[in-house]
Structure 1
């Protein structure tokens, strides 16, 4: 008898919902609008309604559903309590219990970056490994840590917040978290652009990046691949900072593999190579052979991880 489950990745603008067999086969996926009005009061109701409609359409009984996994863009404790989620307008409450009440199905919840890491471990770039560190380089820097196949949530739900490792005590600009010198300020897409603009303002060095109306992180890696000296300097700086930070993470959790995802990871081999080169310089000798890989599930990683949580 086939069993099914749902992976729900709640984002600030859309909720991505995946309908799975428990084997890991994705049968269908769709998105619904994330209604953040009224402090996100209707978000879980909308998710519950969408799932109920899918079950009715497929003619599947709740008895054949193993459960629902939910990823949330904020700190989530192991018991399903969301420790405030600014993007959604949520305060502190138990998202798992609440959605169970609305659906009549078992629910587990986790931080979105952590569940993405779980997804990549299960069916993506980290497949075949049980000890995985995932770092997501997007608008910010997210992280997820998997030890023996299980997410590390932490006491306050902040396990895996790799983006807020402090890497520069002298940084004058403020990170989104309110502190100074976080990894996110250098290795995210916005951080890379910040480094470029700072460099362009401080030097007269010739660069193809100067002629662009609005520089993106993609432009920096593209120009570095083409041999632009300033772009290469920026890529080396980012690689040095990220490689050292990941070496420090590995001293604590000693993973088999580090998976790099997010929009910046589309740079590909040039990114992996520069990070790995700097990682080896700083890594504890027992961790120097840690593998590196690119994430493969893209925006679906969260849904896969949510599904894996309930297995």
Structure 2
């Protein structure tokens, strides 16, 4: 009898779900809305109903399901306890126990960024490596650390929060975390645009990105690829901050490779090359010559990683 597993990635807007064979082949994937009303009390029930509907649709029995992995947008301890998820309205509770009771299935949970890192290691940009760091450059900057094929959670489930490494002690504006000068303030999609607006305000130099009221990180990278001087300066600054931060990360966990994901990673090699350049300039000799790869799974990394959690159970 074919064994299966589910991967569930709970986001603030939608819940992404995948049904997988145990070798990582995806049978089906779909989404349901994330109902956050009443402090997210309906989310797990909705997921359970969706899993049951899919099993019935595919004519599979629950006995074929090895388990369910869940990625959650917040810290998750090694025993499956969620330490609050502000985006979902959840307080502290053990999501593995709760969902296990609902479904009568084995359940394993982890932080969504860490789970995405596991997915990229298993079937994405980090495939073939056993020690890697995923860096996600989106609205914020997230990260996930994999050591010896396992997620590094940390004592409070917050390991891999590389977006809040301080890279500029002179920054005056506060980060959302309450600190100042965090990597996220410069290397996220919003941070890149903020830095662009600062630079444009400080110079009259002509630029392809000037007078663009809806300027995006993609616009900046596209202009840099065309040789726009100010855009190249912005990309260089981004690479300097990221390369420095990742040199510190490397000194702690010594990965085989860094996988760069998130929306900003669509810039491609211009991004990985500038990060690698500044990484090499800042890291100790023994940690040089790491691989820098682009993530391959996109928004599916979370469901792949969640499914992989089941195999590690």
Please report how far the alpha carbon of residue 287 of structure 1 lies from its aligned counterpart in structure 2 after TM superposition.
1.2
In the alignment, the residues of structure 2 paired with residue 178 and residue 38 of structure 1 have an alpha-carbon distance, to the nearest angstrom, of: 27
In the alignment, the residues of structure 1 paired with residue 36 and residue 202 of structure 2 have an alpha-carbon distance, to the nearest angstrom, of: 41
In the alignment, the residues of structure 2 paired with residue 84 and residue 283 of structure 1 have an alpha-carbon distance, to the nearest angstrom, of: 35
Please say if 1:212 is aligned against 2:212. yes
Show the 5 A alignment for 1:192-211. 192-211=192-211
Please say if 1:251 is aligned against 2:251. yes
Give the 4+ runs in structure 1 shifted more than 6 A: none
Please report how far the alpha carbon of residue 261 of structure 1 lies from its aligned counterpart in structure 2 after TM superposition.
0.3
What secondary structure is seen at the aligned counterpart in 1 of 2:160? coil
Q: Which stretch of structure 1 is more off in the superposition, 161-170 or 112-121?
A: 161-170
Show the 5 A alignment for 1:2-21. 2-21=2-21
1:188: which partner in 2? Answer: 188
Per-residue CA deviations over 1:224-264 (Å, capped at 9, x if unaligned) read 01111000000000000000100110000000010000000
Please report how far the alpha carbon of residue 78 of structure 1 lies from its aligned counterpart in structure 2 after TM superposition.
1.0
1:30: which partner in 2? Answer: 30
2:56: which partner in 1? Answer: 56
RMSD: 0.7
TM-score, with structure 1 as normaliser: 0.99
1:298: which partner in 2? Answer: 298
| Count of residue correspondences | 311
In the alignment, the residues of structure 2 paired with residue 38 and residue 170 of structure 1 have an alpha-carbon distance, to the nearest angstrom, of: 41
Please report how far the alpha carbon of residue 289 of structure 1 lies from its aligned counterpart in structure 2 after TM superposition.
1.3
In the alignment, the residues of structure 1 paired with residue 227 and residue 25 of structure 2 have an alpha-carbon distance, to the nearest angstrom, of: 42
In the alignment, the residues of structure 2 paired with residue 95 and residue 170 of structure 1 have an alpha-carbon distance, to the nearest angstrom, of: 40
1:119: which partner in 2? Answer: 119
What secondary structure is seen at the aligned counterpart in 1 of 2:166? coil
1:178: which partner in 2? Answer: 178
What secondary structure is seen at the aligned counterpart in 1 of 2:209? helix
1:154: which partner in 2? Answer: 154
Please report how far the alpha carbon of residue 59 of structure 1 lies from its aligned counterpart in structure 2 after TM superposition.
2.2
In the alignment, the residues of structure 1 paired with residue 118 and residue 287 of structure 2 have an alpha-carbon distance, to the nearest angstrom, of: 21
Structure 2 unmatched runs, 5+: none
Structure 1 unmatched runs, 5+: none
In the alignment, the residues of structure 2 paired with residue 307 and residue 290 of structure 1 have an alpha-carbon distance, to the nearest angstrom, of: 28
2:73: which partner in 1? Answer: 73
Please report how far the alpha carbon of residue 213 of structure 1 lies from its aligned counterpart in structure 2 after TM superposition.
2.2
Q: Which stretch of structure 1 is more off in the superposition, 230-239 or 53-62?
A: 53-62
Per-residue CA deviations over 1:46-100 (Å, capped at 9, x if unaligned) read 0011001111222222221110000011111111111111110111111111110
Show the 5 A alignment for 1:90-105. 90-105=90-105
1:165: which partner in 2? Answer: 165
Per-residue CA deviations over 1:14-36 (Å, capped at 9, x if unaligned) read 00000001111000000000001
What secondary structure is seen at the aligned counterpart in 2 of 1:208? coil
